Amino acid sequence: MPYAMLKSVAAYVPDKCVDNSTFEGLLDTSDEWIQKRTGIKTRYFATPEQKSSDLGVKAAQTAIERAGLSKEEIDLVLVGTLSPDYLAMPSTACTLSAKLGLENTPSMDIVAACSGFIYLLATAKAFVESGMYAHVLIVGAEKCSSVLDFEDRSTCVLFGDGAGACVIARTDNPKESILDVKIASNGAYADYLYTPRTLKQSAFIESCDQSQTLRMKGNEVFKLAIKTLLKDVEDILGANNISPEQITYFIPHQANLRIIQAVQNQLAFSQEQVVLTVQKYGNTSAASIPMAMNEIYEQGKLKKGDLMLLDAFGGGLTWGSALVYYGGD
């Protein structure tokens, strides 16, 4: 049976950098308040013309090139996003595939919000290890700014736009494979973090006067995220008989610095092990983990055979973790 490996990683961010001072003129907030509560200093916003697929295709093109492949060698395209180009159809994956110039290549979205990249990994791993596909392109692509309420200071300062992409390929070497992935969900907590769907009055439904912007119960999400992520990380390490000291890089979803530090401190990860980009990009949802991974790749720190621990928590509620050897050059 073949193993699945993470063969390449890439990322893309739009040009517009937005610092915390921008929000001081719009909301009752300050740079000091935002940094103290979240650790975020800046984030990037796409232009009105750019869609999630536009950001994703930029990262995808680089990931394919770094994998040493042609686009025609991609067997399957998977996209994770909470900010799709269209409502339900066509999928952002279909749109992204067309922009890549792919024809007749299967593609589909996976909706797991901020846990999207872990869900993408799990799905790609299954397809590759089954022997069904040899090269799977996975993309976390988010235009979070398109679903934000810029009058709600509890959410609009948290998120940014960007994309991250990886090519998942076959390998015979378990020491360069995706060692393990665990994913889970609990829809009973759906109202903790969600985007409403606005319905117009008709003969069949009553009107529903709701915004389609993101809604979050911040305190509840914060507490449950720490508890859930800590248990999830402990479980995957224990199941694979791996200690925190054996981890080269701990790359969590970049949602909030305080959440990351709580998990880091409980498991005694060193500063050198923990990858932080939340201060630079904010929360880019399904794109945050591959964007953080790309950061250390482009800094020359990520080496073949390095063992990464990934974990994420998002709307749904969903969560997941992964142990991944870096298989690229």
> What DSSP character marks residue 205?
S
Catalytic residue among 156, 253, 256, 294: 253
CB atoms within 10 A of CB 265: 10
The rounded distance, in Å, linking the Cα atoms of 317 and 188 is 8
Per-residue CA distances from 178 to 117, 254, 307, 310 (Å): 13, 21, 9, 11
Q: Give the span between the Cα atoms of 80 and 137, in whole angstroms.
A: 11
Q: Considering all CA atoms of the chain, what is the largest pairwise distance in Å, rounded to the nearest integer?
A: 62
154-188 burial, b at 16+ Cβ within 10 Å, e below that, comes to ebbbbbbbbbbbbbbbbbeeeebbbbbbbbebeee
> Residue 4: what are its φ and ψ, rounded to 5°?
-105, 140
3-state helix, strand and coil shares in percent for the chain, rounded to the nearest 5: 40, 25, 35
- Would you call 256 a catalytic residue per the annotation? no
C-alpha 205/C-alpha 277 separation (Å) is 44
Q: Are 192 and 315 in contact (CB under 8 A)?
A: yes
Our answer to whether residue 114 is catalytic in this structure is yes
In DSSP terms, 307 is beta-bridged to: 325
Whole-angstrom distance, CA of residue 153 vs CA of residue 34: 9
Q: How far apart are CA 180 and CA 267, in angstroms?
A: 19
Instruction: Give me the catalytic one of 114, 144, 156, 166.
Output: 114
Give me 304's structure tokens: 């073949």
Of 20, 144, 156, 283, catalytic: 283
Residues marked as catalytic: 114, 253, 283
